[in-house]
């Protein structure tokens, strides 16, 4: 039994407490800069700090968000008044999380596929983040569907699942609840059925590897993608079809003892991300032994980022927009979201 077992269980339960989800604000500098570039925001540390301060000081964010996931740069930053972000999070009653992977890199011998790096030195980085106040972590693996190229390959699924499992074991040893994120990308022409097959194979391998590495399921959170047709697939699916296929795939592969499921949004529209999560909780709750909630990045932050666009005078309205999406997704996590709740946003 590990040193942190009780703390890990309590943290995991708090991360997926009723009506709460996780805010994935852990874009690497590179990804954050890409999002800034599109909007003409300067890609400097000063602007990244201002953006993260905007998010972390949203009034009442903790009503809907159990914890934000930070990035290495962000966990070391403070507000312009000098208060460390970690302290801002703790004082708001939220739990600080940290992305610990070093990114998805081209996989040798596997054209078009990625493998996530970051295991070397991870034990020491986990110890440092724990000492800084982090209590959970995230590692994202990327699986690409391309029927013509014949991906994903077994080699890619195995390598990513193995890395996820070794990461998760190290996290639990060091007191961080691992968010295990195998993302099957939404890009491509694949059908709902093809996405189901790949997600099924991926989750099966992930849980095999987690077992082999001795990971405790009641002290981890699974962050899966939904089972959904590719963005370019001519045959799109209804909200209920996505919800049912996703729950069926999870039920088949995810042990009932897993502490919680927190989906990524993966480039779905904000409304779809809310509607799909809602349908799972409203219609298929009796098939879910685990809490089912959100760990969204774009589907929570995008309207706020676009409105702010680097202008300090727009912070209060941008914060309202972020809070609105957090509130709607909180409703979806308990099955009480309705598309009628999508209020038109003020033009300011
Ligand atoms: P999206 O919700 O934008 O997919 O991001 C979630 C995430 O954390 C990806 O790693």
Q: Of the candidates 195, 202, 205, which has an alpha carbon nearest to the alpha carbon of residue 227?
A: 195
Residue-wise pLDDT tens digits, 159-186 = 999 999 999 999 999 999 999 999 999 9
Of all protein residues, the one whose alpha carbon is nearest to atom 5 of ligand 1 is: 297
Q: Of the candidates 198, 180, 182, which has an alpha carbon nearest to the alpha carbon of residue 190?
A: 198
| pLDDT value of residue 345 | 67
Residue-wise pLDDT tens digits, 10-69 = 999 999 999 999 999 999 999 999 999 999 999 999 999 999 999 999 999 999 999 999
Per cent of the chain over pLDDT 70 is: 99
Residue-wise pLDDT tens digits, 117-160 = 999 999 999 999 999 999 999 999 999 999 999 999 999 999 99
**What is d(CA 200, CA 184) in angstroms, rounded to the nearest whole number?**
10
Q: Is 116 in the pocket of ligand 1 (CB under 6 A)?
A: no
Substitution site in 35, 266, 294 for ligand 1 pocket (most atoms within 8 Å of beta carbon): 266
State yes or no: pLDDT of 327 exceeds 70: yes
β 104-106/114-116 pair status: antiparallel
Q: How far is the CA of 331 from the centre of ligand 1 (A)?
A: 19
**What is d(CA 231, CA 330) in angstroms, rounded to the nearest whole number?**
25
**What is d(CA 185, CA 198) in angstroms, rounded to the nearest whole number?**
10
Residue-wise pLDDT tens digits, 67-86 = 999 999 999 999 999 999 99
Q: Is 298 in the pocket of ligand 1 (CB under 6 A)?
A: yes
**What is d(CA 54, CA 322) in angstroms, rounded to the nearest whole number?**
10
Query: What residues contact residue 121 under an 8 Å CB cut-off, 6+ apart?
Result: none
Of all protein residues, the one whose alpha carbon is nearest to atom 8 of ligand 1 is: 24
Q: How far is the CA of 24 from the centre of ligand 1 (A)?
A: 6
| pLDDT value of residue 347 | 61
Q: Is 297 in the pocket of ligand 1 (CB under 6 A)?
A: yes
Q: Is 332 in the pocket of ligand 1 (CB under 6 A)?
A: no
Please, which pLDDT band fits residue 2 given cuts at 50, 70 and 90? confident
**What is d(CA 217, CA 112) in angstroms, rounded to the nearest whole number?**
31
Per cent of the chain over pLDDT 90 is: 98
Of all protein residues, the one whose alpha carbon is nearest to atom 9 of ligand 1 is: 264
State yes or no: pLDDT of 346 exceeds 90: no
* Structure tokens, 114: 């990625």
Q: How far is the CA of 296 from the centre of ligand 1 (A)?
A: 5
Q: Is 35 in the pocket of ligand 1 (CB under 6 A)?
A: no
Across 221-240, b (16+ Cβ under 10 Å) vs e yields bbbbbbbbbbeebeeebebe
Q: Of the candidates 135, 69, 146, 68, which has an alpha carbon nearest to the alpha carbon of residue 110?
A: 146
**Alpha carbon of 263 to those of 18, 53, 73, 235, 256: distances in Å?**
15, 24, 24, 23, 17
| pLDDT value of residue 105 | 98
Q: Is 296 in the pocket of ligand 1 (CB under 6 A)?
A: yes
β 136-143/177-184 pair status: parallel
The domains located in the chain, with CATH, are: 2-341 (3.20.20.70)
Query: Quick one: average pLDDT of 304-332?
Result: 98
Residue-wise pLDDT tens digits, 185-232 = 999 999 999 999 999 999 999 999 999 999 999 999 999 999 999 999
The ligand 1 atom nearest the CA atom of 225: 4
State yes or no: pLDDT of 1 exceeds 60: no
Q: Which residues are catalytic?
A: 181, 223
Chain mean pLDDT for the chain: 97
Q: Is 135 in the pocket of ligand 1 (CB under 6 A)?
A: no
Q: How far is the CA of 267 from the centre of ligand 1 (A)?
A: 8
Q: Is 36 in the pocket of ligand 1 (CB under 6 A)?
A: no
- Three-state DSSP at 230 gives coil
């Amino acid at each position: 039994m590990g040193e942190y077992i009780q703390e890990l269980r309590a943290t995991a339960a708090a991360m997926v407490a009723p009506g709460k989800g996780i805010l994935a604000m852990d874009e690497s500098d590179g990804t954050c800069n890409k999002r800034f570039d599109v909007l003409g925001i300067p890609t400097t540390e000063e602007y990244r700090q201002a953006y993260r301060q905007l998010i972390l000081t949203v009034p009442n964010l903790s009503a809907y968000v159990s914890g934000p996931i930070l990035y290495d740069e962000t966990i070391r930053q403070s507000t312009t008044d000098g208060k460390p972000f970690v302290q801002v999070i703790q004082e708001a009653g939220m739990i600080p999380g940290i992305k610990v992977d070093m990114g998805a890199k081209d996989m040798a011998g596997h054209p078009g596929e990625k493998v996530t790096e970051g295991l070397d030195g991870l034990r020491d980085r986990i110890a440092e983040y724990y000492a800084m106040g982090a209590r959970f972590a995230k590692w994202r693996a990327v699986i690409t569907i391309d029927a013509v190229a014949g991906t994903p390959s077994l080699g890619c699924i195995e390598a990513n699942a193995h890395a996820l499992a070794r990461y998760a074991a190290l996290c639990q040893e060091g007191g961080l609840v691992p968010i295990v994120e195998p993302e099957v990308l939404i890009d491509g022409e694949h059908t709902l059925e093809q996405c189901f097959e790949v997600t099924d194979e991926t989750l099966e391998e992930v849980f095999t590897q987690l077992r082999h590495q001795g990971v405790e399921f009641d002290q981890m959170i699974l962050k899966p993608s939904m089972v959904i047709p590719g963005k370019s697939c001519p045959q799109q699916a209804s909200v209920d079809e996505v919800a049912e296929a996703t729950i069926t795939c999870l039920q088949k592969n995810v042990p009932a003892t897993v502490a919680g499921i927190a989906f990524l949004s993966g480039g779905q529209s904000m409304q779809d991300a809310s509607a799909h999560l809602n349908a799972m909780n409203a219609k298929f709750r009796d098939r879910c032994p685990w809490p089912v909630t959100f760990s969204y990045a774009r589907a929570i932050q995008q309207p706020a980022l676009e409105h702010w666009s680097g202008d300090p005078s727009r912070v209060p309205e941008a914060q309202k927009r972020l809070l609105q999406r957090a509130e709607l997704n909180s409703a979806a996590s308990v099955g009480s979201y309705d598309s009628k709740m999508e209020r038109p946003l003020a033009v300011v």
